[in-house]
């Protein structure tokens, strides 16, 4: 017993529709597009881009305006290519910084516009940058500083004292002799 041609045709159509639905879902979830919007490329040099990767967002004032397309080492600095959507003008005084989004630490490039009169064009470089904040480095510095600090006020810094040995502005103690004024 074989299925009729009509049944085979209906099964084939449903199979193709299923494959098409999976493909569309994959593109949507992967944030991929077959036809990217018109755009131009800007570059930025950073001292550290820890956690930034291709495909991360580029934002201005919290609005997505592009994507990171490439990261590589150039003259001992990390160079990042940013694909910016057409119609988004970025001035020459703009600052590009690497920020962290969410609890998982996803990175993105945030651009703060400046007051420059010149607009950057395809192939230009954003001159002012702020590198990635690395929590591990900060924690390491805190641990190292806490371990090397003396017993003076917890930070190793000694407060200045006046002539009788008390910090400035402190009331003199009963045992401290009062200093006589002389003219």
Q: What is the pLDDT of residues 125-171, one digit of tens each?
A: 999 999 877 777 788 888 988 877 644 444 445 555 555 555 555 55
Residue 63: its pLDDT value, please? Answer: 94
Residue 141: its pLDDT value, please? Answer: 86
Residue 12: its pLDDT value, please? Answer: 94
Query: Which phi-psi region, left, alpha or beta, contains residue 13 (left: φ > 0; alpha: ψ -120 to 50)?
Result: alpha
Domain layout of the chain by residue ranges: 39-136
Q: Are strands 63-74 and 39-46 parallel, antiparallel or unpaired?
A: unpaired
Along the 183 residues of the chain, how does pLDDT read in single tens digits?
677 899 999 999 999 999 999 988 887 777 666 777 789 999 999 999 988 999 899 999 999 999 999 999 999 999 999 999 999 999 999 999 999 887 777 899 999 998 888 999 999 999 999 987 777 778 888 898 887 764 444 444 555 555 555 555 555 544 444 444 444
Nearest to 65 by CA among 24, 112, 28, 131: 112
Residue 154: its pLDDT value, please? Answer: 47
Residue 25: its pLDDT value, please? Answer: 87
């Amino acid at each position: 017993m074989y299925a009729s041609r009509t049944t085979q045709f209906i099964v084939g159509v449903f199979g193709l529709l299923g494959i098409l639905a999976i493909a569309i879902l994959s593109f949507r979830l992967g944030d991929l597009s077959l036809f990217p919007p018109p755009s131009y490329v800007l570059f930025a040099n950073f001292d550290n881009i820890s956690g930034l990767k291709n495909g991360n967002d580029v934002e201005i004032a919290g609005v997505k305006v592009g994507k990171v397309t490439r990261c590589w080492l150039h003259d001992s600095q990390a160079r990042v290519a940013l694909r910016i959507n057409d119609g988004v003008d970025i001035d020459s005084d703009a600052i590009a910084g690497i920020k962290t989004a969410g609890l998982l630490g996803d990175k993105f490039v945030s651009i703060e516009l400046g007051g420059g009169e010149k607009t950057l064009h395809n192939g230009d470089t954003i001159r002012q940058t702020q590198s990635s904040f690395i929590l591990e480095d900060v924690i390491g510095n805190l641990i190292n500083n806490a371990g090397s600090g003396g017993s003076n006020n917890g930070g190793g810094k000694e407060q200045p004292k006046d002539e009788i040995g008390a910090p400035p502005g402190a009331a003199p103690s009963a045992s401290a002799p009062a200093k006589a004024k002389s003219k």
